Amino acid sequence: MISASARRLGIFKAVADLGGFNVAAEHLGIAQPSVGAHIKALEKQAGQSLFNRGRGTRASLTRAGETLYTYAVEMLRQSEQARVSMTGLGAMGAREIVIAAQRALSNYFLPTHLAAFAPRNPGIRIVTRTGTSENVLDMVRARSVDLALFQSLGPVPGIRSQLLANEPLALVVAPHHPLAGKATLTPADLAGHAFVGPLRDSHYFHMMEQVLRRQGMHDCNFAMELQDFATVIEMARHGAGIACEMLCCVKNEISSGTLVQLRFAGPPAFMQIRCANLSPKSEPVRQLVSIMRGEKPS
């Protein structure tokens, strides 16, 4: 499915509900060209038109638009639920912590730390919201969560965050891949080999592309662009290409031998795991952040 901010999905929904770009712009209090730009960006991601347009007629949804509309309604509903949860947090005396986490971090980084936190805080309820990096940052900007975990190559402009960990990145392939078991590889050795990775217009793709370029790998051939990181790992396991993933996401596959980590010449590459703390005065939140940073409990 398309990766888009809550604001962009809200604009799309307004156009669909109100039947026109101009009326949506007036309703939202923004310029009509801005509405058009958001819809154009969504259509570029979808690769097809979302609205049937005709001079003097109401803008109606195409089949692709109807599919996206269903998705938008659900995403906006979840965003509102998170906002409501945050609103009620103060009245609950900080007995609930709402966490937004990028999917890979939700699966491979967060559970260990929550397992350490829970026994010390039996009265605290944990609620997690998972999504793309874009979804997580949107929830931070909306202040609808207490904590947000996301991958980054450094501080994100406009978002106050702290570094939790520098997670190594690994290039992995199937055991039968031509490069598996080879001695230390150079960028030239990888040239011409297919990669599998995230969607090209995603925030994670651009970060990964920067990392690969810093390692001397330019113009990598991404034969597959897949939205879910688990699918990327699975396709690499089936021999579809080279995957670049955080080591925590693939260490079990490497240990079991279903994936092979390539030995790459040059300095190791890392992805930052950062945390935006929107409830810094809450003692349970402070304690959880401390655990995620690897600090010993006081």
- Please report the pLDDT score of residue 92 as a whole number: 45
- Which structural domains are found in the chain, ordered by start? 6-77 (1.10.10.10), 166-271 (3.40.190.10)
Question: pLDDT value at position 93?
Answer: 46
The one-digit pLDDT tens for each residue of the chain (298 residues) are: 567 788 889 899 889 888 888 888 888 888 889 999 999 999 988 889 999 877 767 888 999 888 888 888 888 887 776 665 555 544 444 588 999 999 999 999 999 999 999 998 888 999 999 988 888 988 898 888 999 999 999 998 888 999 999 999 999 999 999 999 888 899 899 988 999 999 888 888 898 899 988 888 888 889 999 988 889 999 999 999 999 999 999 999 999 999 999 998 878 899 999 999 998 888 899 999 999 998 876 5
State the pLDDT at residue 1: 53
Residue 223: exposure state from Cβ atoms within 10 A (0-12, 13-18, ≥19): middle
pLDDT of residue 177: 95
- Angle, nearest 10°, between helix axes 63-87 and 133-141? 50
Q: To the nearest 10°, report the CA torsion of 107, 111, 112, 116.
A: 170
HSE-up of 63 (CA within 13 Å, CB side)?
0
- Residue that the structure tokens 């010390």 belong to: 120
Place of tokens 């923004």: 30
**Please, are residues 18 and 24 in contact by the beta-carbon 8 Å criterion?**
yes
**pLDDT reported for residue 85:** 56
Closest by Cα among 148, 113, 128, 154 to 294: 113
